[in-house]
Amino acid sequence: MILKNSWVQIHKILLKPEERTGSLPPDTKQVPFEMWDKGFLTKNANIGDEVEVITITGRSVEGTLIAVNPSFMHNYGTFVPEILIIDKMVKTFLFGGDDQ
């Protein structure tokens, strides 16, 4: 159970594929137009329930509850070793190699 006033994320389908505009590439036309928003839960609920939230600007928005205390987990990604090659290339070209 997720308690009332918890900070949560909701998801909502705004337009079904058949409701989307005509000027879309075929791959986009096949999928719904979706929305994610965050706010404070107005009633106790469980993940997957249809809920109402009050957003940080005070708007009431309804959608499916998908997360509580939603977190940002983005990072710098897995290491890209090419970056070290670039460093070596430009430093050697400008300042000379280690033996110089």
Partner 1 sequence: MKQDNSYAAVIGRKNSIMKTAVGIDYNQYETTNISFDYERLMKETGYSLAQIKKIQYSHGVGQTPLKELPNLSALARKIAPTGYGARIFIKDEAQNDSGSFKARRASIACYHAKKLGFKGVIAATSGNYGAAVASQAAKYGLKCIVVQECYDSSGIGQPEIIEKARACEAYGAEVIQLSVGPELFYTFLTLLETTGYFNASLYTPFGVSGIESLGSELIEDCLSKTGKLPSAVIITNAGGGNLTGTARGIKKMTDEKIQIIGASVNLKGLHMASDHDFNRKSFTTGHTGFGMPFMTNPDRSDVPRSAARALRYIDRYVTVNQGEVFFITETLVALEGIERGPAGNVALAAAFSLAQERKEDEIIIVQETEYTGAGKHHQAQMAFARSHGIDIYFGDPAEEIAGKSIVLPSRIDQIKAVDLDLIKIKQSAIKNQIKDWKKLTATDFVYLIAETNSTPDFVRQTLTELNVDWEEE
CA atoms within 13 A on the CB side of 70: 15
- Given 1, 78, 96, 98, the residue binding partner 1 (CB under 8 A): 78
Interaction mask 2-21, partner 1, x per CB under 8 A: ------------xx---xxx
For the beta carbon of residue 88, count every other beta carbon within 10 angstroms. Answer: 11
Give the whole-angstrom CA distance, residue 62 versus residue 9.
Answer: 11
Asked if residue 59 binds partner 1 (CB under 8 A), the reply is: yes
CA atoms 48, 53, 59, 62: torsion sign: positive
Asked if residue 49 binds partner 1 (CB under 8 A), the reply is: no
Binding site for partner 1 (CB under 8 A): 14-15, 19-21, 23-25, 27-28, 30-39, 55-59, 72, 74-80, 82-83, 85-87, 89-91, 93-94
